[in-house]
């Protein structure tokens, strides 16, 4: 048929370097498949309801490419780290942003939300946020 229907909350879409898009049922194994394949990006959606759903106590960084975040609904704060310290950027419903490669960032949930992401496949680094 040439078309794949999928539930964006239950699926990760692996975008391969050759242009192929594979819809994978969301699971820990799907992330392993993404990391093993010649994927360049992963498209997905999350529905955080509690602050810990967004790992607010950890910084995240993608050395292999930029990440795109789109807040479909809700309220989330994006916190980025630069040489002057932490910068808090509120995201409101319908807003999008590009987190540049190599930028340490974390997300803080202000209200239950739906967040779409397009992120580099593999290579993500994490480190604890120290208070």
Q: How far apart are alpha carbons 15 and 115 in whole angstroms?
A: 18
pTM of the model: 0.91
Domains in the chain, CATH or no CATH each: 11-128 (2.60.120.10)
Helix, strand, coil % in the chain, rounded to nearest 5 = 10, 55, 35
Q: How far apart are alpha carbons 98 and 119 in whole angstroms?
A: 10
pLDDT digits (tens, 9 = 90+) for 28-83: 888 777 777 666 899 999 999 999 999 899 999 999 899 999 999 999 999 999 99
Angle at 57 (CA atoms; ends 23, 92), nearest 5 degrees: 65
Residue 34 is encoded by which pair of tokens? Answer: 């993404």
Dihedral (Cα; 103, 110, 53, 30), 10-degree rounding: -60
């Amino acid at each position: 048929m040439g078309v794949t229907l999928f539930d964006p909350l239950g699926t990760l879409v692996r975008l391969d370097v050759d242009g192929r898009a594979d819809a994978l049922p969301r699971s820990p194994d799907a992330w392993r498949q993404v990391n093993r394949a010649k994927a360049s990006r992963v498209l997905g959606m999350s529905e955080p309801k509690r602050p810990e759903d967004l790992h607010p106590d950890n910084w995240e960084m993608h050395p292999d490419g930029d990440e795109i975040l789109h807040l479909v609904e809700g309220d989330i704060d994006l916190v980025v780290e630069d040489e002057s310290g932490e910068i808090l950027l509120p995201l409101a419903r319908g807003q999008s942003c590009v987190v540049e490669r190599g930028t340490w960032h974390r997300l803080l949930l202000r209200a239950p939300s739906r967040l779409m992401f397009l992120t580099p496949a593999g290579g993500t680094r994490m480190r604890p946020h120290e208070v």
